[in-house]
Amino acid sequence: MARTLIFTQYFLSFLIIFFVFPLPVAFAQQEFVITSINPEKTNLGIFHSYKYKFLLVSLISKESKDFSCLPNHYYIYNYGSEDLFELQAGNLKVNSNFSKIFFSKIHSLGGLDKAKETQWKKKVKKIIKILGSSPETMEIGKSISSDQTISCWQEPKLIDTTNKKKKGFSYLMANLCKQQWCNELYWPDQENIQFWVHIKPNKLHLIRLNTKSEAVEFKDQGPIFFKQEMLQSNAPRDNLVTSKTLKGKTLVLKTSTGKNMLFAWKMLPTGKIKVFLQRSDIDIKSAKTKQSTIANLIAQKKVMEAFVAIRFALWLDPNNQDIKFERLKAFGLSLQFDQVFRSLRDDFSTKERHKICQKLHVENIFIKQWQSDKFVKSFKKICYSS
């Protein structure tokens, strides 16, 4: 229940439209808030490469007695290709030329519910198969939420920063901290990654994995050990957030079109830190390139990823009607039907609305809703009004 509440709160806050913080006049109007955090609970990391036009924003939960097995959050922004996406992971490390990101996907399992024992056992078998581990090793190598209700494990994965293709590896990645996620990730070169794994129940192995060939070299081994709070170093650059810069800093970025843009973080009067981008123009061409990606995310029902991509695309071009329609579909998938009709009313002109309503009427996502009197009534009110 606690874990569900935490997720729900995150999901709802994720969809809030953030307020505007004024910046110099030259960069007024076009602001995109990447995230807003409480620095008392979350460590903020900013890693930047001018050479590769790459920004990584990492949000790492601090060591806490309230460890919940939830992943950390990372935002990756390539301002050379105008591409922004989010990863949820326990640990993450970018390689030296910023072409690959190695991270850990979190698999979690609640306690056995007798009423759902068959489904529970299927999920256990699935996790064991994914991690290529044994039940004994899984039991000893698991992390546990503070309330003792959730067990969780890390699966090592790789993502190509250019095409977003992901690749998993069948190992149980060790968690070297008891109340947060940590491991010692190290790229000795652009292809090989080094990290600790559980292969045998009572022993850890340090392996060097070739992410291309999947060849493994064993570097070290020993009994299970744990570390105190460990700060993640997520990229081959220094963290720009220090004790001196925690309250705020601004970077001027030059896009591929040669125009300047601001990236900044700022501590607000509430004590929260807002991380945001700001530009003085729109980018219609770049926004159009996001349409197929957003449609694919929605087709795969990756709603939270879709909302990140939609918000970013509408920052590039606030008037893109096709992306606004994809947002209606995302609202439908997440059962936010009030938002569907609010968007229909506020985001489209009368002429545009009639066209969009016709598309919505035949959209598969909304088929079951035609059995709902409330949905039909709202549709008629918004779509048939002059």
Extents of the domains making up the chain: 2-223, 284-383
Q: Any idea which fold 284-383 has?
A: 1.25.40
pLDDT at 386: 57
Count Cβ atoms below 10 Å from residue 188 Cβ, excluding itself: 12
Q: How would you classify the pairing of strands 248-254 and 216-223? A: unpaired
Token pair belonging to 323: 């992306």
pLDDT by residue (tens digit) across 191-219?
999 999 999 999 999 999 999 999 999 99
Q: What pLDDT score was predicted for residue 29?
A: 55
The pLDDT score that the predictor gives to residue 385 is 75
Contacts 24+ apart (CB under 8 A), 252-261: 253/53, 253/55, 253/79, 255/53, 255/79, 255/80, 255/82, 256/53, 256/79, 256/80, 256/81, 256/82, 257/283, 261/27, 261/79
Check if the beta carbon of residue 56 is closer than 8 Å to that of residue 44: no
pTM (2 decimals)?
Answer: 0.87
Which parts of the chain sit beneath pLDDT 70? Answer: 1-29, 386
pLDDT in tens, 337-366: 999 999 999 999 988 999 999 999 899 999
